[in-house]
Structure 1
Amino acid sequence: MKNFNLVDLNSNLDVLNFLPDWVKITSVNGVVIFANKPLVNKLNFDPQGMKIDDLKTTKFKEIFSVGIHPSDFKEDDMKKSDLKYDGKVYDVLTAPIRDDFGTITAYVDIYRDMTSLKNIQNEITFKNEIMNKDLTLTKKIQESILPVDLNFGRLKVDYMYLPCEQLSGDIFDVISINKNITSAYICDVSGHGVPAAMVTVFVRETMRNLQDYHSSAYDLTELHRRFLDLRLDMSQYLTMFHVLIDTNEQTISYSNAGHNCPMFLIRQNDVIRIEMTGKPVCNYFEKIYFKEKVIRFNPGDKILLFTDGIKETQNKDGEEYGLDRVESIIRTKPNDILKTLRRSLDYFNSGVRYDDMCAVLIEFKDKGDV
């Protein structure tokens, strides 16, 4: 802090009377040289010429007991202390006043009323604590809707679920329709936090309460119809890759609602990227036509569904993880795909996630392995 020159200061003391803060200047001998009008009005007397030690014996002793003695100063620093007085909270800043030779001749104390700010800070802290408790509860609810029983007859299910915040906009589900047919999907809701989490609950309940599972394309059409009934903002949307697995016919029918990650079909000697275009579920379109295709799904085959938080995560150089790295893990670690993928992602992005990550692995087991 710049040195105060006592002569210059004396010629400008009137300026301090217009400050809302209390200001007092005390000599190194402990005598009050100056008190501005706000402080004088508070005390109902002018302490100029009085010793600090004597003032400490008055009912205003708290005011004159704060501050820092000049001997505690080093170079041109400023000290800060706190004062609670008369139901208010003050920040007290103490600075040295030096002569032209650099010798401390006095020090100035500035008392700033921080009560309103402190109250606002306390209110924000209190509301944040309530919000964090609500978020924690909502997170538990969201996690509770994830599948618990991962045994679906001849289908073996495993998953990786990594929210970038407490609440996720990613969701997946695997639903047993009958002894032969199983519905599975992975979904990415735009945004993060509470709004996205609420939409994931809507998706889950809608997909589990469809009257009939005619086809993967029909299910997406019905999801879109019910999404329109929510009347959400135009910026709110979701993408989904949906499959119906028939273990009796050994087929997968699949449709895509704007999901920009392919499904990997993993066979004993091959890895195939199953890609399909499609519009996202949103309010921009009143009607959407979803395509549907069917592929063979043989015992021993696997499929991997995942969200774009995986392929788009970046390293410190801004490089994206990409699909090739995902495929490389599938080829090199076919029996440990998700654990290897998790370790690879954490190493690649140094554990920093800016988007939710979710992946679901479904294996069609041989009858003898059930």
Structure 2
Amino acid sequence: MGTCGSCSSNGIPKGCKNNGACGTGSCNTKLSVFDWLSGINPPTSKIHNQYIEVRFKNDRKDFYIVNPDHPLTIGDIVAVEASGGHDIGIVSLTGELVKIQMKKKKVKLEELNKVYRKASQKDIDVWTNYRDKENNVMLEARKIARRLNLEMKICDVEYQGDGSKVTLYYTAEGRIDFRQLIKDYAVAFRTKIDMRQIGYRQESAKVGGIGSCGRELCCSTWLTDFRSVNTAAARYQQLSINPQKLAGQCGKLKCCLNFELDTYVDALVDFPSSQTILETEKGRAFCIKVDVFRHQMWFTYANNSISWYPIDVDELKKLIALNAKGIPTKPLDELKEKNNLKVDLIEENNLNRFEKKHRSTNKKRNKNTKPQQPKNPKKIESKQNSKSRRIKKD
């Protein structure tokens, strides 16, 4: 794994001038971590912490115990304890921030494995050799599963650092019978087989891609935890429940629906309930739309739902107070006339704003342009005579 030596600070440790705290080891690494506590020394006598975070194949991370006498920095390739052998990973986080992450993820100290040593060149060569085989193994595993008519999809393959085990990640709707499949995999790959089922969100995180926003998928770049997303998030944001627009590449609701949900919930606290019914002089009116950005609620009559009328939230609260006293409000038509007194300078609500501008500019151009002078009739006659002479010669 190369380092970004062009932006290193003093050569050691290498990194983008963050003294090894950027957590990448090379630029544009997926799920990188910035250690914002890298410059803070612990209050204890020990300089180095005894816990580190190690990254495997960019999307799997785990915590390990390290000997304080052998300090490690971010970006170091290490050999760690694994089932039936050792694994190779890259140090992604060190220092006091590791304890905060362990507390956040509720990691038990007695279940942590150890770091053996820094990876030697031989360890790195074996590790890279097995990583180069992963794509071919994934294709072969898909062929075997298809030959057995199993309703599953192999999404990713990961070899252990020493090659003693291979983990196959798959997605499936129901349960899969692995009895014959594991036998065929063991014969084909000649190593220990580990099958792990993942969800469709985890699959899209491993595969990656471009979202509808034009950027890389959040799950494949920086998003590590997948919170549940439901249609209530779309309703709070006044979005139409359209599965084709709300679904991501994984086929589930987009994770970004949760990003601004808290902001919308806080803004809707000042709004009256969408079930509000106004008693007007023309009859009952109910809410049909909520505009969070303009701080308005749209109402329509129960007997005439074609016409919609916007009302500001502050004015709506006054109308609700009048209804609470038993006083009917004025018709929505008159309330709409008051709201229309506001000048729309940019003509945002005018559908024909572009046509008017073009017409006005054309009129101005016609006024400013000078009238064309009539052509000289003598020149026209001379041109016609020259043309006739040419025709006679021919």
**Going by fraction, where is strand more abundant, 1 or 2?**
1
TM-score bracket, normalised by the shorter chain, equals: under 0.3
Give the TM-score, by structure 2 length. Answer: 0.19
